[in-house]
A and B are shown apart, each in its own frame.
Chain A
Amino acid sequence: MTTITMRRIEAKFSQKPDNSMSNGSASKVMEVRNLDAYYGNFRAITDVNMPMRRNAVTAIIGPSGCGKSTLVRCLNRMHELSAGGRIEGQILFDGEDINAPEVDPVELRSRIGMVFQKPNPFPKSIYNNIAFGLKINGFRGNMAEAVEGSLRKAALWDEVKDRLKDSALSLSGGQQQRLCIARAIAIEPEVILMDEPCSALDPIATLAIEDLIRELKEQYSIVIVTHNMQQAARVSDETAFLMVGEDRSGYLVEFDSTEKMFTNPSHEQTEAYITGRFS
C-alpha cells in the first residue's frame, strides 16, 4: 500500500503527465457516456454523451439550472459529496472508468483540478494557498520554486511576488481567481474544470483569465462552464449545449466544434439560444 502511494507521488512529480500531442490531437482525455446524475430522487441531468479533447478547451453552455455545474462536478467526483448525489452511466478518464471501485476519488481529484464560480482562496497566506495542495499530495521537492512556477503560469507572479506572506483574502477578486487557478495547476493535474470562473469578475479581469485559459491549454485539457456566449466563442475549441427538459432534467442538445456551433448549429434550439432569441 505504502509503496504504491509513494510510487504514485514520485511518478506524479518527477515525470510530467503525458500531455504531448503524441496520441494525435483528436485523442480524448475524458469521455462521458450515458450519464445520468441525481440529487436524491431528482434526476438533474439525463443521458449526456460527450468527449473532451486533450489540450483543448471544451465549453459547456446552457440556461440556468440545466445541470452544467452538476455535469462538471461529476467529472472529478465532487458530485458525490452533495447530499444525495449519485450517478449512472460512465465517465472515462484516460480510457478508464473513474467510478470503478478501485479508483480513489481523492487521488482522482488531484489529477483533475477544479476552479469554482466564486473565488475561494483559503484564509491563509498567498504562499500557503499554493503550498497547501502540494503538501497534501505529498510533494517533497523545492516548495518555493513550485509556488513561484505555478504563480507564473497563472500570470500572477509579478503582482504578488513581494507579498507572498500576505493573506490571500487581501487580493482583488480577479487576483483571487487567478490564485485559485495557480493553486489548481500547482499539483500538475491533467484536466482543469472551471465552473463559470469569470462570473464574479469585472470585464478586465475576465479578459485576463481568458488569455490565461488560452495559454494553459498548451499543457492542460480544460473544461469550462460559462453563461457568456462570447466567452465560449472566444476561448473554446468545442462546445456542448445543454437544455432543461419538461421534467426539469438537463440534457445535451448538441456537441460540436465551437466554430460550427456558433456559425451553423444543427439544432434550432441551439441557434435560438446562441443568438439570444431564447425565452
Chain B
Amino acid sequence: MNAPPPTLIGEITAKLGKKWSSWLFAGLAISATGFGVLCLAVLLFVVARDGLGGLDWNFITSFPSRKPEDAGILAALMGTLWVMGLTCLFFVPVGVGAAIYLEEFARRNWFTKLIETNISTLAGVPSVVYGLLGLAVFVFGMNLGSSIVAAAATLTLLVLPITIVASREGLRSVPPSMREAAMALGATKWQAVWHQVLPAGMPAVLTGIILALGRAIGETAPLIAMGAFTSVFFVPTSPTDTFTVLPIQIFSWVARPLPGFQENAASGIVALLIVLLLLNSVAVALRYMYARRRSW
C-alpha cells in the first residue's frame, strides 16, 4: 500500500480511534447543551436569590421612591397592563387580518411576494429602530407625546411580523378539505373562513398572539427610545397619559449603584417573569388543547 504522508489531525484521529473521537464529540455536544440549561438555572437562581425577599404586597402597591426600601412597582405594573391591553386591541385584529388575507385570499403575485418578503425582513429589524419610528411618527408626527397609545402603536408595529407568521401557520394547519366541505355546502369563501377555518385554527392563532404579547411585555428599548418615563408616580387613567412599564422600571433601578435598588430590580424581574410565566402557561394549555384536537 502506498499510504499518503500522515497529517497531524489524521494521526490524532487514528490514535484516538474512531470510537474515542466519537465519544469526545458526544461529550462536547452534551456539555454545550448542558451549558445553555445551566445558564438558565443560574440566571433564575440569581434573580430569585436577590429578588424574592423584596417581593411583597408593599412592593406591588407602592410608587417608586428615592429610598429603595419604600419603592414599588404599582405605576409600572399598571402601565404594563394599560400598554399591553391597548397593544392587544391594535395588533390582534390587524395581525390576524393580515394572516387571513395572505393565507386565504391573496393571489400569488409579485405584490403578495413583496409583502411576504417584507414581513420576514421586518422581523429582523432591531426593536430600537421601531422606537425611533414611534418617536418620529407617533410622539411628534401625530403629537401623541410619550403616551400609552403611542407606545401601544409602536409595539403593535414591532410584534406584527411574529403575529402574522404564527397565525398563518395556524391557518395553514387547517386541512383544505374543511374549506372545500363548507364551500360545497354553498358557503362563500368568506363564510368558510369565518365559520370553519378560523375557529379550527384558533388555538394556534392564539398561541401566536400570546407569543407576540410575551415579546411586547419584555420590550424596553423601543419604549425608552420613544421617550417613556422612568419614574412615574401615578396610575394611568387614560390612553393619552404618560406611563412607565415594568421593564423600564427595572432598567432604572439596575442603573442605580445603591445595592437596595439592585434588589428592587431583582424583585421587579421576579414580578415580570411571573407575568410572563402566567401568559406562557396559557400558551402551553392552548398548545395542549390543539395537539389533542389534532389527534382526533
| Chain A residues near B (Cβ < 8 Å) | 1-2, 5-6, 13-14, 104, 106, 136, 138, 140-142
Contacts of A141 in B (CB 8 A): 1-3
Beyond contacts A104-B19, A142-B2: 20 other A-B pairs, Cβ-Cβ < 8 A, are A1-B17, A2-B14, A2-B15, A2-B17, A5-B17, A5-B18, A6-B14, A13-B1, A14-B1, A106-B18, A136-B18, A138-B14, A138-B18, A140-B1, A140-B3, A140-B4, A141-B1, A141-B2, A141-B3, A142-B1
- Chain B contact residues (Cβ within 8 angstroms of A): what range? under 10
Closest 7 A-B residue pairs measured CB to CB? Answer: A140-B3, A141-B1, A5-B17, A2-B17, A140-B1, A142-B2, A1-B17
Contacts of A104 in B (CB 8 A): 19
What sequence of 0s and 1s flags, for each residue 279-296 of chain B, a beta carbon within 8 Å of any chain A beta carbon? 000000000000000000
User: Can you show 6 pairs from A to B with CB atoms below 8 A apart?
Assistant: A1-B17, A1-B19, A2-B15, A2-B17, A141-B2, A142-B2
Contacts of A142 in B (CB 8 A): 1-2
Contacts of A6 in B (CB 8 A): 14
Determine the residue in chain A with the shortest Cβ distance to B2: A142
Contacts of B14 in A (CB 8 A): 2, 6, 138
Determine the residue in chain A with the shortest Cβ distance to B15: A2
Determine the residue in chain B with the shortest Cβ distance to A4: B17
Determine the residue in chain A with the shortest Cβ distance to B16: A2
Cα(A142)–Cα(B1), bound, Å: 8
Shortest C-beta distance, A106 to chain B (Å), equals 7
Contacts of B4 in A (CB 8 A): 140
Cα(A138)–Cα(B10), bound, Å: 10
Cα(A158)–Cα(B91), bound, Å: 63
Shortest C-beta distance, B271 to chain A (Å), equals 42
Determine the residue in chain B with the shortest Cβ distance to A14: B1
Contacts of A138 in B (CB 8 A): 14, 18
Determine the residue in chain B with the shortest Cβ distance to A104: B19
Most central of B2, B18, B19 by chain A CB within 10 Å = B18
Shortest C-beta distance, A133 to chain B (Å), equals 13
Contacts of B17 in A (CB 8 A): 1-2, 5
Shortest C-beta distance, B17 to chain A (Å), equals 5
Contacts of A106 in B (CB 8 A): 18
Shortest C-beta distance, B6 to chain A (Å), equals 9
Cα(A141)–Cα(B4), bound, Å: 8
Determine the residue in chain B with the shortest Cβ distance to A10: B1
Shortest C-beta distance, B47 to chain A (Å), equals 38
Cα(A106)–Cα(B19), bound, Å: 9
Determine the residue in chain B with the shortest Cβ distance to A135: B10
What sequence of 0s and 1s flags, for each residue 5-43 of chain B, a beta carbon within 8 Å of any chain A beta carbon? 000000000110111000000000000000000000000
Shortest C-beta distance, A131 to chain B (Å), equals 13
Shortest C-beta distance, A69 to chain B (Å), equals 26
Contacts of B15 in A (CB 8 A): 2
Shortest C-beta distance, A4 to chain B (Å), equals 9
Shortest C-beta distance, B260 to chain A (Å), equals 54
Cα(A106)–Cα(B15), bound, Å: 18
Shortest C-beta distance, B70 to chain A (Å), equals 58
Contacts of B2 in A (CB 8 A): 141-142
Contacts of B18 in A (CB 8 A): 5, 106, 136, 138
Cα(A141)–Cα(B1), bound, Å: 5
Determine the residue in chain A with the shortest Cβ distance to B1: A141
Determine the residue in chain B with the shortest Cβ distance to A106: B18
Determine the residue in chain B with the shortest Cβ distance to A142: B2
Cα(A81)–Cα(B45), bound, Å: 38
Shortest C-beta distance, A236 to chain B (Å), equals 35
Cα(A134)–Cα(B1), bound, Å: 14
Determine the residue in chain A with the shortest Cβ distance to B20: A1
Contacts of A2 in B (CB 8 A): 14-15, 17
Shortest C-beta distance, B171 to chain A (Å), equals 30
Shortest C-beta distance, A95 to chain B (Å), equals 25
Cα(A6)–Cα(B3), bound, Å: 14
Cα(A136)–Cα(B3), bound, Å: 16
Cα(A140)–Cα(B10), bound, Å: 11
Shortest C-beta distance, B85 to chain A (Å), equals 45
Cα(A106)–Cα(B21), bound, Å: 14
